[in-house]
Chains A and B, each alone.
Chain A
Amino acid sequence: MEFKDYYTTLGIDRNATQDEVKRAYRKLARKFHPDINKEDSAEQRFKEIGEAYEVLQDTEKRAAYDKFGKDWQAGQDFKPPPDWDNGFEFNGGGYTENDASQFSDFFESLFGAQGRPGAQDPFAGQQARYAGKGQDLHAKIVINLGDSYLGSKQSLTLQRPTVDDSGHVITRPHTLQVSIPRGITEGQQIRLAGQGAEGMGGGTNGDLFLEVAFSKHNFFTHDLRDIMLTLPIAPWEAALGASIQVPTLGGTVELKIPPNSQTGKKMRLKGRGLCSAKLSGDQYVTLAIMVPKPVTEKDTELYNSMKENMSFNPRSHLGVHL
């Protein structure tokens, strides 16, 4: 089991006051709240911060934790010494309203009822006397744009809290096959009834909400149902017009570029975005003219000939002369 340095997690000194603990926690909780911070690591950080605060905000738990001294480093292999908690009052539970099933093994071994075989758990054996609906669970599912365009089946494994034979909450891996319907968009949720946490004492299970996120594509971006592509074109294609091949999620299509097109011109491919059974999206193509490097002498000659024969001032609207 890894030792957790709760002070480092909150970024505070070991001699921080209780007020400092609270302030550090609140600041970090705001920063890493998974609804606010969309980084992949945010949820994990938020849980660690919550666990650290759970221990350090409680003067009894903090004093017990402090007995380990500062010699321990985060990540070091750790085993609590026997009777380390003698004289402290939190035996047998003592959780607050925080969701303790999300805490680490390290926390569980020190402050959870499981860590102390001798401790009396007042609720052990009683869970059958009341029934409660299981909690709803929320998770993120990352798919690529192609999965949404065509619809797909995804397999994902979640850590689902469940109650073991002795009445303790533990997490167990749980694998689900989920059908992703065609045209799902980022931020939308898939609700799986009864796939949340198990109910207590015969209560019904909670639900599972999967929020969809898209992995980054090499060249497409997306805005709700619309797909965006920047399409590089040659100067002569822009000037003279051309019919060119454009990638879409559904394969290559032909696009007619009108003569005299400029960089930034936006063109729409109707119905080529993320379409569901009822709603459709488009693909938007933004032209970007790429200027070829003059490599050979002939190339340089061509550029010179254009310079001499074409009266073109790209900066006329700025009021400057060539």
Chain B
Amino acid sequence: MKPELQCTIIDESSEYSLRELCNVCKVHAQFIQDLIDEGILSPQGQSPQEWRFAAIEIKRIQVSIRLQQDLRINLPGTALALDLLDEITQLKRSKSYLDQFYALDNDR
């Protein structure tokens, strides 16, 4: 029998320390510090030892890395892109809801 896969859900109910975050994302603490300074990440807690990161921020880190590598976007540009992507996601959700609402007219 195959061993059970070690499976972690990255959702809004779990939190990570700086060390755990660096480990999962395979980045240096300095990179995390840079993202915090740019406002891309906002941990709870005062000092790096106390920082707690929402697990959902892992995706922001991963997207930041990819955008910087693939498209040569600098940090402020990455922050802007992430904010705009969030907004687009939200707008698309609203749109799919409205599309469904107005589709009723065409159904019958």
Residues of A within 8 A of B (CB): 26, 29-30, 33, 35-36, 38, 46, 133, 136, 138, 176-179, 181, 184-185, 187-195, 207, 209, 211, 219, 221-223, 228, 230, 232, 276, 278-279, 286, 288, 290
Contacts and interface: CB of A to CB of B under 8 A. Distances in A.
B100 A219 contact: yes
Nearest to A291: B108
A221 B9 contact: no
Interface of B: 2, 5-13, 24, 26, 56, 58-59, 62-63, 66-67, 70-71, 81, 85, 89, 92-94, 96-97, 100-101, 104, 108
Contact of B104 (A179, A232, A278): A232
Interface of B (DSSP majority class): helix
Contact of A190 (B9, B81, B96, B101): B9
Contact of A230 (B5, B67, B100): B100
A286 B70 CA distance: 42
Contact of B10 (A36, A133, A189, A232): A189
Contact of A35 (B7, B10, B67, B92): B67
A188 B9 contact: yes
B96 A221 contact: yes
Contact of B26 (A33, A136, A192, A232): A136
Given A177-B5, A190-B7, A192-B8, 9 more contacts: A36-B81, A46-B70, A184-B9, A184-B11, A187-B59, A190-B10, A191-B24, A192-B5, A192-B6
A286 B101 contact: yes
Contacts of B8: 190-193
A221 B94 CA distance: 9
Nearest to B69: A97
Q: Which 4 A-B residue pairs are closest in the complex by CB-CB distance? A: A189-B10, A191-B8, A193-B6, A278-B13
Contacts of B85: 35-36
Contacts of A219: 100
A18 B97 CA distance: 46
B70 A29 contact: yes
A173 to B, nearest CB: 16
Given A35-B67, A193-B8, A209-B62, A187 B89 contact: yes
